[in-house]
């Protein structure tokens, strides 16, 4: 059966760490859905690995072709979206597709995929810890950091709409819990 795992979390909740751990642990079963974004690549990112990095013009032409399963302007002037062809490609490989998307995008995907999908909300232990993690992340310039903190606060209010909430307190425990949860979903 075609299955999907949707991971959403406020920025700084450790979502990328959890997602990468799962992909490394279950490479035969899970595959990462590479999104399109109009933001610039970070120094260690590669086109076609973390994201497909497109210009705003290219993004808009994909939009006009109705190429996205979902898309959002996640930050001011920065677009992100999941391509239909990406999901189809990974399902054709017989994989369970793993999404790392923002909270609204995650709920949108869940609505479309229904019981095929498990929507997981990863939550920091507290807002103070979240802000501390975000501030220590050196890749963001000041105004982006402020925007990320504001968005993270707003996103925390959506947890009730997710199938599962995982609190990321002690990382080792979170990874074990995430693995158990995924295995259980795949066995269903």
Please tell me the distance from the alpha carbon of residue 10 to that of residue 124, in angstroms, as a whole number.
Answer: 8
User: Which residue, 35 or 174, has its beta carbon nearer to ligand 5GP?
Assistant: 35
User: Which residue, 21 or 39, has its beta carbon nearer to ligand 5GP?
Assistant: 39
Distances (CA, A) of 23 to 5, 33, 100: 11, 11, 12
Among 32, 80, 121, 162, binds ligand 5GP (CB under 6 A): 80
Among 4, 31, 74, 117, binds ligand 5GP (CB under 6 A): 74
DSSP state of 47: B
DSSP state of 48: T
User: To the nearest whole angstrom, how small is the minimum distance from the Cβ of residue 187 to ligand 5GP?
Assistant: 26
Among 29, 52, 54, 72, binds ligand 5GP (CB under 6 A): 72
Among 11, 38, 168, 174, binds ligand 5GP (CB under 6 A): 11
Q: Does 35 bind ligand 5GP (CB under 6 A)?
A: yes
**Contacts made by residues 47-52, CB under 8 angstroms, sequence distance 24+:** 52/83
Among 17, 21, 25, 39, binds ligand 5GP (CB under 6 A): 39
Distances (CA, A) of 154 to 3, 23, 123, 146, 150: 28, 28, 13, 13, 6
Three-state SS annotation for 105-120: HHHHHHHHHHHHEEEE
Among 12, 14, 81, 124, binds ligand 5GP (CB under 6 A): 81
Name the maximum alpha-carbon separation found in the chain.
45
Query: Which span sits near ligand 5GP by CB under 6 A: 57-65, 78-86, 90-98, 122-130?
Result: 78-86
Residues binding ligand 5GP (CB under 6 A): 11, 35, 39, 70, 72, 74, 80-82, 100-102, 105
């Amino acid at each position: 059966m075609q299955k999907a795992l949707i991971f959403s979390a406020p920025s700084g909740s450790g979502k990328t760490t959890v997602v990468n751990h799962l992909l490394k642990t279950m490479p035969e079963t899970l595959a990462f859905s590479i999104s399109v974004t109009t933001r610039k690549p970070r120094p260690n990112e590669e086109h076609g690995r973390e994201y497909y990095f497109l210009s705003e013009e290219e993004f808009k032409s994909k939009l006009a072709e109705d190429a996205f399963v979902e898309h959002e302007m996640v930050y001011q002037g920065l677009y992100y979206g999941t391509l239909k062809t990406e999901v189809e490609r990974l399902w054709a490989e017989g994989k369970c597709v793993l999404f790392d998307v923002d909270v609204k995008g995650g709920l949108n995907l869940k609505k479309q995929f229904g019981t095929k999908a498990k929507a997981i909300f990863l939550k920091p232990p507290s807002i103070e810890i979240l802000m501390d993690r975000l501030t220590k992340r050196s890749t963001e310039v000041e105004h982006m950091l402020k925007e990320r903190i504001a968005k993270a606060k707003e996103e925390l209010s959506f947890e009730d709409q997710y199938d599962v909430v995982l609190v990321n307190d002690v990382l080792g425990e979170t990874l074990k819990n995430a693995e158990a949860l995924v295995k259980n979903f795949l066995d269903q």
